[in-house]
Copies of this chain bind each other. A is one copy, B any other.
Amino acid sequence: MNQYNQIKSQCFEANMQLPELNLVVYTFGNVSAVDRDKGVFAIKPSGVPYASLKVEDIVVVDFDNKVVDGKMRPSSDTKTHAFLYKHWENIGGICHTHSTYAVSWAQAQMDIPIFGTTHADHLTADIPCAAPMADSLIQGDYEHNTGQQILDCFEKKGLSPEEVEMVLIGNHGPFAWGKDASKAVYNSKVLEEIARMAYLTLQINPKAPRLKESLIRKHYERKHGKDAYYGQGC
């Protein structure tokens, strides 16, 4: 009986959702699930296709990127996950994909404007696009610095990772997170949908206005506020 079975299983299930949701092809993408008590997280092994991924392939790593369980090499993005878990104490899962529309906005180096209630049901801000990294940081500890880049972006824009559970890395692609690995995948899918709708909105009307503040607050609050009445309240 492995003490990490629960997070390995959560991590495996969440990773397997990615191809089903059309968020990845081949080996692209990775999801992790944290165990705060033990100070470790489970993550997809690097370069393994989803079709052949097994739960026992999942690697367990501590916040200093040391493998504590598993025989395979963890995702090449592991240090970014570790950095975010270390600095953001309330997140339980992280998901990174190269989903088409989110990557396209990241390559365009633009925030995704909040245009409608689909967006406001999930967050009240534009989805931030972190600026490409300085050359010195790229040549340094790149994946660690990607985590730093996300943190800097949130600090500069005054965003909270509890309210904004997704980000674009300029020129690269999206990261999303949440209370657990499954929610992180959910946020990745929602981000892809919002990215697609925002793209189409601007094609139809290049002068489409941002959603007004009163509608942003209304939709966010009815789902996430203290008097929320969306869902079954449990």
Q: Which residue numbers of A lie inside 8 Å of B, CB to CB? A: 25-28, 45-48, 72-73, 76, 98, 100-101, 103-110, 115-118, 132-133, 135, 138-139, 142, 171-173, 186, 189-190, 193, 196-205, 208-209, 211-212, 214-215, 218, 222-223, 229-233
A186 to chain B, nearest CB (A): 7
A76 touches B229 (CB 8 A): yes
Number of this chain's copies in the assembly equals 4
**Which of chain B's residues have a CB closer than 8 A to the CB of A116?**
103, 106-107, 171-173
**Which of chain B's residues have a CB closer than 8 A to the CB of A230?**
46-47, 76
Q: Top 10 closest A-B pairs, CB basis?
A: A47-B231, A108-B205, A104-B200, A108-B204, A107-B115, A107-B201, A107-B116, A135-B214, A117-B172, A138-B214
**Which of chain B's residues have a CB closer than 8 A to the CB of A223?**
76
**Which of chain B's residues have a CB closer than 8 A to the CB of A172?**
116-117
B232 touches A142 (CB 8 A): no
Measured in the bound complex, the distance between the Cα atoms of B118 and A17 in whole Å is 21
B231 touches A117 (CB 8 A): no
What are 8 A-B contacts with C-beta separation under 8 Å? A25-B189, A100-B200, A104-B200, A110-B204, A116-B172, A118-B173, A132-B215, A138-B214
Measured in the bound complex, the distance between the Cα atoms of B98 and A199 in whole Å is 15
Which of A196, A211, A212, A232 counts the most B-chain CB atoms under 10 A from its CB?
A232
B215 touches A138 (CB 8 A): yes
Task: Evaluate whether A117 and B171 lie within 8 angstroms (CB atoms) in the complex, with A73-B233, A76-B230, A107-B197 already known.
Answer: yes
A197 touches B109 (CB 8 A): no
A147 to chain B, nearest CB (A): 15
CB < 8 Å: which of B47, B171, B201 contacts A215? Answer: B171
